[in-house]
Amino acid sequence: MFGRAARRGLVGLVGTAALLSVAACSSGGGGETGAGGGGGDDLIRVGFSQLGAESGWRTANTESVKESLTEENGFDLTFVDAQQKQENQIKALRDFVAQDVDVIAFSPVIETGWDEVLQEIKDAGIPVVLVDRTVDTTVEDPYVTWIGADFEQEGTTAGEWVAANAPDAKVFELQGTLGSGAQVDREEGFNAVVGDQVIGKASGNFTRAEGKTAVEAALQAYPETTLIFSHNDDMGLGAIEAIEAAGKVPGKDIQLVTVDGVRDGLQALVDKKFNYVVECNPVFGDQLAELITAVANGEDVPETTIVVDEAFDQTITQDEVDARAY
């Protein structure tokens, strides 16, 4: 299995958002492969299980995937939104097996609990492309290739900003969905740098509403909080509401460091309510389409494709935010 360990330390956060393919390759076939996407009227039949629509990031990622996996580009896409429920994803994956699609792609809501269904997919000879998040499974070679961001590096970058700019801050950590690759790895990266500054943590499940609720409770439990590290922009935006309702000034009384870089998050940075945003780029539909085509054709593909992110501070301009694609 690759996944978290293989992604550790692969890349830094540099430059504009771009894709870096890691050189190690694996066979795209893995046994039976689907209809060749290479020619004629053959469409590649893809079952894509998206984990939900919990955040601005997810919405942008879904749009990117749908814009790329079109009939015009050679795909017959079945897209299913799991509404952040693992049981819905498992059902969708089993439906894809029953439909005998050529390739299954999915973004797992949490890391564990996939052994049975991954084995069923493997037994059916359908190659899996893992998208965005990672799995932790006992199944051998459970997927052909994975594309996503280096979550641990994102947490590290956030921690380095805190260490350099707020070394005395008392930090509350607003975690994403517990047990998800994004939560586990961002927390690991951040805590490796400034874990000794963290005075409390709770999950806001990557949504604005639950982020707000978690911060309302945190401000009661940890009134000494001076900085919140939020695992995504949406929860950070919910935190702004909770902080203002408590009569405090976000960005000043309580600093906010977030991950994602969606337009609403960057607007909060321009408005000086967020202090630092580490990007997690959701727009990789074209690269996913290339990988799926190669996998369907039994070609070699990289084991991992890391979406490289950048980071933003309050020097970002309104023009840059207005030009943001998502």
Q: What is the dihedral of CA 208, 59, 284, 303, to 10 degrees?
A: 70
Q: What is the dihedral of CA 247, 198, 307, 235, to 10 degrees?
A: -30
Q: Tell the smallest beta-carbon distance from residue 204 to ligand AHR (Å).
A: 10
Q: Tell the smallest beta-carbon distance from residue 258 to ligand AHR (Å).
A: 9
The CA distance from 213 to 207, in Å, is 10
The CA distance from 293 to 291, in Å, is 5
Smaller CB distance to ligand AHR: residue 61 or 197?
A: 61
CA 61 to centroid of chain Cα atoms: 9
- Map the footprint of ligand AHR across residues 120-139, applying CB under 6 A: 132-133
Size of residue set near ligand AHR by CB under 6 A: 13
Q: For 50-77, give one letter per residue: b (16+ CB within 10 A) or e.
A: bbbebbbbbebbbebbeebbeeebbbbb
Q: For 243-259, give one letter per residue: b (16+ CB within 10 A) or e.
A: beeeeeebbeebbbbbb
Among 58, 122, 212, 273, binds ligand AHR (CB under 6 A): 58
Q: Does 306 bind ligand AHR (CB under 6 A)?
A: no
Q: Does 259 bind ligand AHR (CB under 6 A)?
A: yes
Q: Tell the smallest beta-carbon distance from residue 280 to ligand AHR (Å).
A: 5
Q: Tell the smallest beta-carbon distance from residue 299 to ligand AHR (Å).
A: 27
Q: Does 280 bind ligand AHR (CB under 6 A)?
A: yes
**Stretch binding ligand AHR (CB under 6 A), from 24-32, 51-59, 196-204, 266-274:** 51-59
Q: 107 in helix, strand or coil? A: coil
Q: Does 173 bind ligand AHR (CB under 6 A)?
A: no
**Are the C-beta atoms of residues 189 and 7 closer than 8 Å to each other?**
no
If we measure between CA atoms, which residue out of 36, 35, 66, 176 comes closest to residue 110? 176
Q: Does 54 bind ligand AHR (CB under 6 A)?
A: yes
Q: Does 312 bind ligand AHR (CB under 6 A)?
A: no
Q: Does 183 bind ligand AHR (CB under 6 A)?
A: no
Draw the binding track, 193-232, toward ligand AHR (x: CB under 6 A; -: no contact): -------------x-------------------------x
Kindly list the residues in this chain that would bind ligand AHR in the complex (CB under 6 A): 54-55, 57-58, 132-133, 182, 206, 232, 234, 259-260, 280
